[in-house]
Chain A
Amino acid sequence: MSKKYIITICDGTGCIQKDNAAIRKILEQQLKEHNLTNDVRVNLSGCLGMCDKGPIVVINPGYTIYGNVTTNDIPEIVEEHIVKGKPLARLAIQEDHLYNRFFRIFGDAKFFGKQMRIALRNCGIIDPENIDDYLSLRGYEALAKVLTDMTPKQVIEEVKLSGLRGRGGAGFPTGVKWQITARAGSPNSPRSASDEKYVICNADEGDPGAFMDRSAIEGDPHTVLEGMIIGGYAIGAKQGIVYIRAEYPLAVRRLEKAIADAREHGFLGKNILGSDFSFDIDIRLGAGAFVCGEETALIRSIEGGRGMPRPRPPYPSVEGLFGKPTLINNVETWANIPVVILDSGKWFSTVGTERSKGTKVFALAGMVVNTGLIEVPMGTTLREIIYDIGGGIPNNKEFKAVQTGGPSGGCLPAKYLDTPVDYESLAKAGSIMGSGGMIVIDHDSCMVDIAKYFLEFTQNESCGKCTPCREGTKRMLDILIKITEGKGEMYDIENLERLGNMIKKASLCGLGQSAPNPVLSTILNFREEYEEHVKDKKCRAGVCKQLLTYEITDKCVGCGACKKVCPVVAITGTTKAKHIIDQNKCIKCGACFSKCKFDAIIKK
């Protein structure tokens, strides 16, 4: 039955938090009251990426996107938009940024034209819990093509041709990895003689502030499964495992449903689609250790051990899960696979730069107007991402740095804004692509403090196995704390660099090898801030508490409000006379600063 309108409610984690369930309830109630249930279909979709404007409601046709919708707005929306056919300007998101374009592209039905969303192509469009939605958008067609028309070798060749590289961070060519795993265990590879192999999806997304994998699975779990099944076919595996953190209950639930639906439809299990290829997928929950994103630690965790990395070689492609050849790829990598197969590796390789093909998903966060999930072609510049897609820095503040690659990445200052995002360019600038975290920093942030924050994270998440990472990052952190407390010496900066470079080169796994990056890159690009902390005992951003002084200026009217709020009785003064802060007593809590109505208290 044809419907006049389709109303899509975003059902991503952000919108769920903002109670989209209540909106749906009221909406359905309203439609019933207006007797519109036959004319309007209400859909749920995965994350649309506009998390800061949630809850999101999209009405089609017309691609009207409503943001910050409350239950009180629903009667108005139904009355005006559905009944009278007049979109509600008050709530509609008007800016012409990615999201709108994204919908127009889809409206044009140029499915694989010049759009930017490949991995997230269905997120926000389909109901992730409904396999029919996925099927209607060419879902599992790539799998069918592979099983009927292609040999495993041809599949690998196609992936190699696409130029797709691992999206987990290291950027290893995916096709090459597949080829190595496919060859492992065959008679010309002596290491393991078994024909048992595994396919793993690494969904242990651990970077603070990153939600790429989570949204991809929540929004479109089937594409990940389809990618894995194709991978299993290519390398000759029978079992796939999705390793996902237990902190992602929604993603886990949708994945479970997707697996069950896929089994029911014959995409998983024995003799898939009538072929002689059998493959199944299980889920393993991780307990949230950052290091379990490292492939050997992840494998150890699946095996039931403590998630600690082991030296490589042998690589998992040769000796992985339970000692068997194992193909392990990140969620986003898997999500790209059906597109590579359906639209050819050749087409895929036309997107992006010379050495980095396709698109990359980023979780844009920090001091930027539009925070959220974006997918851009490789080679897009940081400036385009931050200013065009992200809408620039809020409150007309100035850009200071952008941190890419999560806690393992570096901080790039304004001079690198025109760096294209691809593996090599970011590395050359002193950062990394990583799995796609991108945090924008303005001048209210202290770079020493930022470095300290990330190092604290990696130190806490270090598995504790190798000395440089366990002990070295701790000593670096000690030094950074010393500097932010105004107790630093100039040799401390040299020690940071020396230790940092040693840790990078001597650590066992990627976590340790990249842990010093935030520190080293801030020293490289913002050395003067470090020196100010050390020499002048000053924090220009006013973040490092110990280096702050609060002073009362002549604007003081002597109201006494500051005196009352001071927890340590550091402020003295009589009524209607200028008050004074005793610097020896002051603990720099800032209570007086926030309390003063006359801007008479200043931070120095």
Chain B
Amino acid sequence: MDEKVTITINGKPYRVDLDQTIMEAADSCGYHIPRLCYHPKLSIEGACRVCIVEVEGMKNYIASCAYPLFDGMKIHTNTKEIRQARRDIVELLLDNHPEDCHVCERDGNCELQRLAYAMGIRHRHFAGERKHYHKDLSSTSVIRDPDKCILCGRCVRMCTEIQGVNALGQANRGFNTVVMPAYDMPFAESVCTTCGQCINVCPTASFVEKNHTQELFAKLNDDSLVKVAQIAPSVRAAIGEGFGLPPGKNMEGQTVAALRKLGFNYVFDTQFSADLTILEEASEFLERVQEKGKLPMITSCSSAWMKYMEQFYPDLIENISTCKSPMSMGSAIIKTHFAEQIKVDPKNIVSVAIMCCTAKKYEARRPELMVNGMQATDIVAVTREIVWMIKSAGIDFLNIKPEEFDSPMGMSSGAGTIFGVTGGVMEAALRTAYELYTGETLVDIELSSIRGFDGIKVGSITMDGKEIRVAVANGLGNAHNLLEIVRKDPERYHFIEIMGCPGGCIGGGGQPYAAANSIPLDTGCLKARAEALYSNDRKKTIRRSHDNPEIQRLYKEFLGRPLSKKSHELLHTHYKPHEPRGIASRKIRAI
């Protein structure tokens, strides 16, 4: 519908589309109505009441995020009364919020703080009882701090509507309302998949990642240890945002240099391990195709997805690729082959993964991923943690001279690069699988049908006359929708990629917070980060994992061939059902 209506905003007439809310219309006319609980990707909550406006003829103030337009509507966004009421509302939020901005993780990056500043609130008005709860530190990945919660409900909506996990909900009433997992269970025992999307959308610091920076600093200062880092593909596409750069600047060289300055002895690339994953995964897929194994095969790189699958889709365990994630493959090689090469006892190697992902902190502790009785990845630090560490170490990140990764795990193909974007694993795997299956090189390697940010994308490729149908889902809610199709029609697809976070790893729960004038998980931001990886892929001369000479050398010197005994021992694993307490079966509504 493109019906137009005439409205007036603050006395000025505008001709706008009818089919939108007051807020959307005001945005298009250059009025940015202050807002807090609103998020364009989530349902309308109408909870914070910060975006109220006056509409002539209406007794009450109207929440502009929720109210549709009508012809002749006379809207006032900035009267004395509205400004005062808005200010009162933000003051009320502040009055039940800890006064500890200067020691808060979101200091300088907090939507409530920004709003209070913009409203001109310089002192507190209604001081009174303030809520106090204990922090929930039980999770490996996400800390829940209800004291800082302003009950905007974004986390609840994210967890329910986008992720389909339903780990969070409001409980209790009135002043005692609090967001918590069911039955106030510790986060660690809840159905939380540790994806960290609640952190991404939280306007304050009610959800933050479990911080491992102090532990990491201590290791970096220990000269008896060999400190090895690996960097996930999407970290380099977003880390610049932590230093004030716009999204989409690839800061690979700067990150490598900064990590060396922080004290790492070796800086490797998770993209190398991604290439390794592709060789294993593509081979596994072809084995399943040729030997009539369980299909569709579903990727297993995303840690949040793995926990989600164990909890809600244990019936699909046989369909899950046995490949470990690139991080865990990389760490396994570091603690075995690499340790041998540099002649260091693997016990004296600290394997650190710099990830975009809070769920990797959970993955690192999984007993299934142990290598020779050791935790393969010792510490996982997310992009945000590394940003602070670089800042606190006084490293001039923006002006630092870019450096190259160390060998042997520093070289990667374009296929490894695009792992960070939804559809990338599938694209990379097909580039290799095609060649392994047909013996010919895939010419048109950019599979546009599975690129982009649609929730579920499907495509197909023909290999020697055999049609391979593939599907890609990003965000766990979309994964749910796709898997419901698979449960009903297992034959429909041969190969499925699932990424737990919206947009894939580039939208991970550990990425820098949205900048002051932008929205968390804004599609424009995700697109820019994705483009940073796609353009990197295009620039590379080696764009297929199996063409990576360092990978070839690793197989020659150490692993033998894909799916060899050694590969199985180090690079593959099996998952077990992990049905959450009190949940026998569940259904979420279509998103």
Contact = CB atoms under 8 A, between A and B. Distances in A.
Contacts of A460: 173-174
A348 B131 CA distance: 52
A289 B177 CA distance: 13
A470 B60 contact: no
Contacts of A350: none
Interface in A462-515: 462-468, 470-475, 478-479, 495, 498-499, 502, 504-508, 513
B58 to A, nearest CB: 10
Interface residues of A, number: 35
Main secondary structure of the interface of B (DSSP, over half): loop
Contacts of B170: 306, 308, 463-465
Given A306-B169, A475-B95, A467 B126 contact: no
Interface string B355-384: 000000000000000000000000000000
Interface string B53-86: 0000001110100111000000000000000110
A113 interface: no
Contacts of A474: 96, 128-129, 174-175
B89 interface: yes
B29 interface: no
B129 A311 contact: no
Contacts of A291: 173
Contact of A464 (B125, B129, B177): B177
Interface string A308-352: 101101000000000000000000000000000000000000000
A13 interface: no
A513 B49 CA distance: 12
Interface stretch (B39-47, B226-234, B433-441, B469-477): B39-47
Interface string B77-108: 00000001100110011011000000000000
B49 A468 contact: yes
B28 to A, nearest CB: 21
B61 A311 contact: no
A28 interface: no
Given A465-B45, A467-B93, A506-B52, A499 B174 contact: no
Given A459-B174, A461-B174, A467 B89 contact: yes
Residue among A462, A465, A499, A504 with max Cβ neighbours from chain B (10 Å) = A465
B56 to A, nearest CB: 14
A478 B95 CA distance: 12
A464 B92 contact: no
Contact of A470 (B59, B128, B129, B174): B174
B128 A506 contact: no
B18 to A, nearest CB: 11
A69 B34 CA distance: 65
B173 A467 contact: no
A464 B49 contact: no
B172 interface: yes
A470 B85 CA distance: 15
B67 A311 contact: yes
B175 A459 contact: yes
B177 A475 contact: no
Nearest to A307: B173
B63 A508 contact: yes
Given A465-B151, A465-B153, A505-B61, A495 B49 contact: no
B154 to A, nearest CB: 13
A463 to B, nearest CB: 6
B232 to A, nearest CB: 37
A474 B173 CA distance: 12
A479 B92 CA distance: 14
A466 B47 contact: yes
B46 A466 contact: yes
Interface string B169-208: 1101111110000000000000000000000000000000
B506 interface: no
B49 A498 contact: no
A146 to B, nearest CB: 35
Interface in B115-155: 125-126, 128-129, 150-151, 153
B174 A462 contact: yes
A517 B317 CA distance: 58
Contacts of B332: none
Contacts of A508: 46-47, 49, 63
A508 B62 CA distance: 9
Interface in A405-462: 459-462
Interface string A355-383: 00000000000000000000000000000
A498 B59 CA distance: 16
B430 interface: no
Contacts of B60: 504-507, 513
A463 B176 CA distance: 10
A513 B52 CA distance: 14
Contact of B172 (A311, A464, A468, A498): A464
Interface in A97-152: none
Given A311-B67, A466-B49, A506-B61, A289 B96 contact: no
Residue among A313, A471, A495 with max Cβ neighbours from chain B (10 Å) = A471
A475 B125 CA distance: 10
B63 A471 contact: no
B48 interface: yes
Nearest to A322: B589
Nearest to B85: A502
A246 B59 CA distance: 35
A468 B61 CA distance: 12
Contacts of A505: 59-61, 85
B62 to A, nearest CB: 9
Contacts of B88: 472, 498-499, 502
A466 B67 CA distance: 16
Contacts of B50: 467
Contacts of A311: 44, 46, 63, 66-67
A468 B126 contact: no
B177 A463 contact: yes
B54 to A, nearest CB: 9
Contacts of A495: 125-126
Contacts of A463: 170, 173, 177
Contacts of B89: 467-468, 472, 502, 506
A470 B151 contact: yes
Nearest to A509: B46
Contacts of B44: 310-311
A478 B172 CA distance: 19
A502 B90 CA distance: 12
A499 B61 CA distance: 14
A502 B93 CA distance: 14
B177 A470 contact: yes
A599 B183 CA distance: 54
Nearest to A473: B174
Nearest to B50: A467
B160 to A, nearest CB: 10
Contacts of A470: 151, 174-175, 177
B153 to A, nearest CB: 7
A464 B173 contact: yes
Contacts of B128: 474-475, 478-479
Contacts of A466: 46-49
B174 A467 contact: no
B181 to A, nearest CB: 14
Given A464-B176, A471-B175, A508-B46, 14 more contacts: A289-B173, A306-B169, A308-B170, A462-B175, A465-B47, A466-B47, A467-B49, A467-B150, A470-B174, A474-B129, A474-B174, A475-B126, A478-B126, A507-B49
12 contacts: A291-B173, A306-B169, A464-B173, A467-B151, A468-B89, A470-B175, A478-B126, A478-B128, A499-B126, A502-B89, A506-B85, A507-B60
- Ranked 10 nearest A-B pairs via Cβ: A464-B177, A311-B66, A311-B46, A478-B128, A471-B92, A475-B126, A462-B174, A474-B175, A505-B61, A505-B60
Interface of B: 44-50, 52, 59-61, 63, 66-68, 84-85, 88-89, 92-93, 95-96, 125-126, 128-129, 150-151, 153, 169-170, 172-177
